[in-house]
Structure 1
Amino acid sequence: MSWGWTVIEESEFAVLYDASTCWVVEDKTTRNKPVKFTGETKTLKNIAVDFAQGSDGMPIFMRAYYPKDQVEFRLVKRAFERLTQDRQREFERLKDMHESREAYGYG
């Protein structure tokens, strides 16, 4: 879903892009959903974040835009790594739950 952005790093669950004036961290599990709204931080660093809407009506992270002139790359890289780790844990939890259901005949 890169819109011509350059992929810097990609994992099973996330992508880190170079998008000219900013770096973008995108969640691959939600990127095909429509953007419900975009929020911005109101600090010295103007980070914008796109959100989708979950089935429960709650916002779900889609991607974050980190301005290169305001945010160090190491912080963006860490955000990419955290997103990857969080989604990996979530996937493993769901996989374990599914396997447990099958083992007890609920699947």
Structure 2
Amino acid sequence: MNLAQAVLTVPSHMVPGGMPHPNLKQLGFKAFERCSIVDKTKLTQFKFSVPALNATEDQFDEAIEQFIWLFAKGTPYVIDKEFNDNTPDSHHRYYYTNNKRVCEVIS
């Protein structure tokens, strides 16, 4: 399965000011959007889309781990991955705390 899209969601107060854009080539994507959700949840999302032809999930996982180090230590985050095979399990959600996966939901 190839990644079609990935979304990293973090609490907005854990996103440092002046944070550089992620290295899209390293992540295996060509497009990036940062979005702040200004409601009671106060979340920031980093949406990655338009995957490179040779991009792999492992490549993304390694690169996003490096990107996470830019946030405050211990930042909890969620990564939503969408795969291009359109099977019932083509959407995965991973919950992390202290850079360790604590839960995975397949939908």
TM-score, scaled relative to structure 2: 0.32
| Bigger radius of gyration among the two | 1
More strand by share: 2
